Structure 1
Amino acid sequence: MNRTQEYKPVNWVNGMKINKNHFIAQHYATVFQQALSNTVFLNDHNYGLLPMSTAIEPPRIWVSVDNMQHVNVRIMSCTAVTRGGYVIRLSADSADSTNQLSAKIPGLSVPFKDLQGKSEAFYVILSLDPYNPVPYGAANPEEQPIRLPFTDPAYTVSLLPVADTSLNTLGEFQLPVGKVLVQDQSVSLEEDYLPPCTAVNSHESLVQHHAETEQFFGRMELNALQILQKILQKNQQNDLIDPVRKLSEEVLFYVSRIYGTYRHDVLYGPPVNLVASVSGLARTIKNAIDIYTGSAKEEMINYFTEWCNVNQGELEDEITSITNYRYDHLNIRQGIDKNVKFCALILQLFTNLAGLDYIGKKKETGIFVKEKLVVPEEEVQARKRGFFLAD
């Protein structure tokens, strides 16, 4: 990321004539160095809203669209860091009469009747300028001359088309905080938009998804164990045993390996780890399925889709979609939605398989497996000696 200007510390010398400009220049140099230091710990996946524990209040950013083709942003509380390392810290309503954070919708300076068929999405971009501070606060009547005692960075809002916005197009002072949609003759707010976040515990929706995914991994572990236990206890003979056993072993190994890290670390790490933990499971499942080719793979996929209640090919498409998904920090919701859909589908499959007495049982045709109960040798001899003592 290129910085357009560098602010150097003031060279203080005894006897020099000083004025307020020297102190302002020194302040700018300090701000610049702080931001530069912050970028050491930042990358394209961990900037945005700071964890809720570091904020005075939980992040509350309201975006509304009025009938005059204006987007109004009210920031009641927000603690965030931009990609350039500049901290946004707002603990009061900044949308007052002296600082209206609003923006004209680009391309909408025409009557709505002329927008028929036009569809566009815009990011609401909050920008700060720490080198152009705005005075604020209550003046002290005992001070002369009268002045506002404090300064804050200048904040502005702009709208950028989603299609033209990427991590590379945003500057070091910008942060997306909302998203609006223009469809036909209406303008609406995307209510469930997730702004970029430094960590999973920066937003309530991400914390909730983390808890739900943790529950998902726990249930997947139990289901995989139950499937393997039934396969080991009964010597079933059909073409589906090996694929199901291999898949269950791979899932069990993956969940066992990442579960501890997921519980203890992912909540405090960037959201990309939340998405990556599920996409890693999808890749594990895909590889376990792709081991088999031809009719064996087709029979296995057909059997799985039957117990997933999905159309043929939908299961593979869903697994491939989450496996190949490239995380977008500006659109975290897209990754979360993919996680939710995949987890629901795979959990349904493994829950149904774990509930079967025999692997290979079909919904309509019943059971078509041969099975032999595996009994320890000493128990067999005991039954031979005392078979008349029926259970």
Structure 2
Amino acid sequence: MYPQFKHFPVNWTNGMKISSAEFVAMENAVQDALRDMRCAGLHEFRYGLLPTSNLEVERYPKLQFNFAQSSIVLHECRAITSGGHRIEISEQTYESQSVPAQLPSVTISPQDYGIHEVFLTVHTFERVGAGRYAEDIPPRHSTISPRYELSLQRKGENSVTGTGPNILKITEVELRDGKLAAILSETGDYIPPCVSLRAHRRLEAAHQAFEQILNNVLEHGKVLMRDVAPYVQNNQDAKDASNVSEKVASHLLTNLSYYNLILPNQPPINLIAFIQDLARYASFAVGLCFQGNLVKKAFDQYGVNRSADALVGNRPNHLNIYNSLKLAHEFLVVLEQFFNALRQHQFKTIKIDVTDVNKAQFQPQQQPSYPPPPPPPSQPYYSTPPPPPPPMQAYPPPTPPQPHVEQPSEQKKRPF
């Protein structure tokens, strides 16, 4: 990552003979120092394509097939190599200022077929005249630019073509019958190394899609915690669902600002690491919440652990980050499906008054003092119904009071 210095400052002394070579050497020494400073800010996952201001982002880096010359021409590419060498090829600058003097291209032979890797080499210290011609005699270019070289290599072949601090793999192409059939960086099947997520539309699209899924998971968790709140005391499955939602929501709420504001300007590896941390948290911390059976069954049924292990066990490749993005997307999809399934489930149970239950446990049940009456004998459905009860007899009318006639006696009777 840190190539050695190849150009050193000129030893200027009085009376020395000077020519253009001394000034060129001085410029090369300055360029080498700047390259080394850029390289100091790079690492294994921070080099590659830079964002472009061209409106044709859908086709960046922009390659076109020249049918007349059977060649692939590079029209748009801004990048920095792993060794700190800058690449600046802009279609607008080329058309307005003739910089570089010629767009890099590579010829395709009729025997070429299959998937090929496209490499761009920048020779920083090989000065090539560019720009408009100055009004000098003899005429000369007014500016210079480094020399660019475009090359192809069949995918899977071991070669030194794609290695070096001044070489960058910019895309993969499919060739058929000596013609350009597809550019894989445009179809989405390949994503070249990028300095930030903003450098390629596929990375920006992945960041936006992941953000939508994370917001959905957060919404599912919020609704789930609200719906199961009345049942967590008496329903273990509802308690598990609430705990899972709380832990995942807490993790997301703590890191969503970083995801929205910082990640778009970071290398793609930071996006993968963010989703890997979420997967590791889901498979380890969330797995400790299960006490019942329902949530654990759904967690296994939707394969959250399996997808999390596949993502965490993957080491991202900066030269082809597409495979890691697919694993991250698969994990987020199953995580959203898991929370959506919990949200749709009805966590309901009969509420039990714990006070009455405890009171019933400590108070003995009172038994009747006499045995209950035996049940009436059962009658078959074909038996004769019992005779109706006799009619009720009317009570005799009360006798009217008789006047008291005192009888002669020796002793007076009491009234009661």
TM above 0.5, yes or no, is: yes
Render the CA deviation track for 1:91-124: whole Å, top value 9, x for unaligned.
Answer: 227799984634367xx88587xxxxxxx64321
Equivalent position SS for 1:11: coil
- Residues of 1 paired with 2:182 and 2:197: CA distance? 27
Structure ranking higher on relative contact order (CA contacts 8 Å, 6+ apart): 1
Name structure 1 gaps, 5 residues minimum: 113-119, 309-313, 359-368, 375-391
Q: 199-208 or 25-34, which moves further after superposition?
A: 199-208
Retained in 2: the 8 A contact 1:134–1:154?
Answer: yes
Gaps of 5+ in 2: 354-416
Q: Which of 84, 88, 106 is the aligned partner of 1:103?
A: 106
Q: Deviations over 1:271-316 (max 9, x none)?
A: 11111111211111111465489x978x75542465x5xxxxx544
The answer for the alignment partner of 1:16 in structure 2 is 16
Work out the CA distance in 2 between the residues paired with 1:65 and 1:271. Answer: 29
Give the aligned partner of residue 364 of structure 1: none
Paired residue type of 2:165: E
Amino acid at match of 1:346: L
Contact 2:131 2:142 in 1 (8 A): yes
Verify the 8 A CA contact 2:120 2:148 in the aligned structure 1. yes
1:48 aligns with 2:48: yes
Partners of 1:154 and 1:135 lie apart in 2 by: 9
Letter in 1 for 2:50: L
Instruction: Between 156-165 and 198-207, report the one with greater CA deviation.
Output: 156-165
In the aligned structure 2, how far is the partner of 1:233 from the partner of 1:227?
11
Q: Structure 1: how far apart are the matches of 2:67 and 2:61?
A: 20
1:262 equivalent in structure 2: 259
Q: Corresponding residue for 1:136?
A: 130
Q: 1:357 aligns with which of 325, 332, 346?
A: 346
Q: What CA distance in whole angstroms lies between the structure 1 residues aligned with 2:154 and 2:112?
A: 20
Task: Give the direction of change, closer, same or farther, for the CA distance of 1:143–1:167 in structure 2 (3 Å limit).
Answer: closer
Alpha-carbon distance between aligned partners in 1 of 2:313 and 2:172, rounded to the nearest angstrom: 25
Instruction: Using the TM superposition, name which of 164-173 and 267-276 deviates more.
Output: 164-173
Asked if the contact 1:233–1:373 (Cα under 8 Å) also holds between the matched residues in 2, the reply is: no
Seen in structure 2, the aligned counterparts of structure 1 residues 198 and 371 have a Cα distance that, compared at 3 Å, is farther
The 3-state SS of whatever aligns with 1:39 is helix
Structure-1 separation of matches of 2:153 and 2:217:
41
Q: Distance in 2 between matches of 1:167 and 1:357?
A: 62
2:91 partner SS = coil
- SS of the residue 2:311 aligns to: helix
- CA–CA distance in 1 between the matches of 2:41 and 2:234? 55
Determine the structure 2 residue equivalent to 1:148: 141
User: Kindly tell me: are residues 153 and 13 of structure 1, through their superposed partners in 2, closer, same or farther at Cα, counting changes over 3 Å?
Assistant: same
Quick one: which of 347, 353, 369 aligns to 2:336? 347
Which residue number in structure 1 is paired with residue 351 of structure 2? 372
Output the CA distance in 2 between the equivalents of 1:261 and 1:199: 15
Equivalent positions of 1:61-210 (< 5 A) are: 61-63=61-63, 72-75=72-75, 77-92=76-91, 99=102, 101-103=104-106, 110=111, 121-140=115-134, 142-163=135-156, 170-181=163-174, 188-190=182-184, 191-192=187-188, 193-210=190-207
Query: Please, what TM-score do these two structures have when normalized by structure 2?
Result: 0.71
Distance 1:122 1:152, change over 3 A: same
- Whole-Å separation in 1 of the counterparts to 2:176 and 2:237: 49
Q: Deviations over 1:245-271 (max 9, x none)?
A: 443233122112211211221111111
CA separation of 1:261 and 1:66: change in aligned 2, threshold 3 A? same
Does the 8 Å CA contact 1:243/1:289 hold for their aligned counterparts? no
Q: Match of 1:156, SS?
A: strand
Structure 1 CA distance for aligned equivalents of residues 313 and 159 of structure 2: 19
Give, as a single letter, the amino acid of the residue that structure 1 aligns with 2:120.
L
Deviates more, 1:238-247 or 1:164-173: 164-173
Distance 1:158 1:188 in 2: 17
State the TM-score, normalizing by the size of structure 1.
Answer: 0.75
Q: Residue 220 and residue 184 in structure 1: after superposition, are their counterparts in 2 closer, same or farther (change >3 A)?
A: farther
Q: Secondary structure at the match of 1:138?
A: strand
